[in-house]
Amino acid sequence: MTDTGSRIFSDAKLVVASHNQGKVTEICDLLEPLGITAISAAELGLPEPEETGSSFIENAELKARAAATASNLPALSDDSGLCVAALGNAPGIYSARWAGPDRDFAIAMQRVADALLLSGTKDRSAFFVCALSLAWPDGHIESFEGRVHGDILWPPRGDKGFGYDPIFRAQGHALSFGEMEPQDKHAISHRADAFAQLLTACFPVPS
């Protein structure tokens, strides 16, 4: 988290600072119960900043600040990825880049499977990370990181979700994220973990 003290969110609208429709949909689903009007960076025609950070939080903060400055609205950004233990936690912050310029995650998932095969290990443990950053136009920012642990499945299973979801199974569950209904994934995902921390800090329930 940031060390500047939590700021309570009191605005009626915010920008979801992502051009990834899957992420936008999940974040909007999480925001819906709060009665906040969410608009995506793509809807506003905001450019995608280059992700030059060395961590998920650095990249999330970079995107949130850029969107808040450009829109003059609070902006919520997500940076997330898959970390595979046997691959030195790759693809990690480069998870989207493994999908190539066309963001083809079938290619990315095949790259993970090929790399695991080449590694010669039977270790299939992995975890998803999600960093959420909420930035205001005045520069204040709050950041949180969530995780969900599990293992890699092959071949991919399910056509729900997005990204690497079809090859990831969370601990204690039989279905891949690609097979889960959205509400079931929302209950246990890395994004839900980070969002719960954000709610506690910035959207406390009135006493």
| Residue 29 bears catalytic tag | no
pLDDT value of residue 206: 59
Flag whether pLDDT at 26 surpasses 90.
Answer: no
Cα 197 off chain centre by: 14
Which whole number is the average pLDDT over 19-36?
87
Q: 26 exposed, middle or buried (CB, 10 Å; 0-12, 13-18, 19+)?
A: buried
Of the residues 79, 102, 159, 193, which is catalytic? 79
Spatial contact of 174 and 183, defined as CB atoms under 8 Å apart: no
Spatial contact of 44 and 69, defined as CB atoms under 8 Å apart: no
Per residue in 129-152, pLDDT tens? 999 999 999 999 999 999 999 999
pLDDT value of residue 3: 42
The 3-class SS string of 43-109 reads CCCCCCCCCCCCCHHHHHHHHHHHHHHHHCCCEEEEEEEEEEHHHCCEEHHHCCHHHCCCCCHHHHH
Flag whether pLDDT at 68 surpasses 80.
Answer: yes
Of 186 and 61, more confident: 61
Q: Sketch out the chain's domains with CATH numbers.
A: 13-202 (3.90.950.10)
Which whole number is the average pLDDT over 156-178?
97
Confidence band of 6 (pLDDT split at 50, 70, 90): confident
- The pTM of the full predicted model, rounded to 2 decimals, is 0.90
Flag whether pLDDT at 107 surpasses 70.
Answer: yes
- Of 20, 23, 140, nearest to 75 by C-alpha is 140
The DSSP output letter for 115 is H
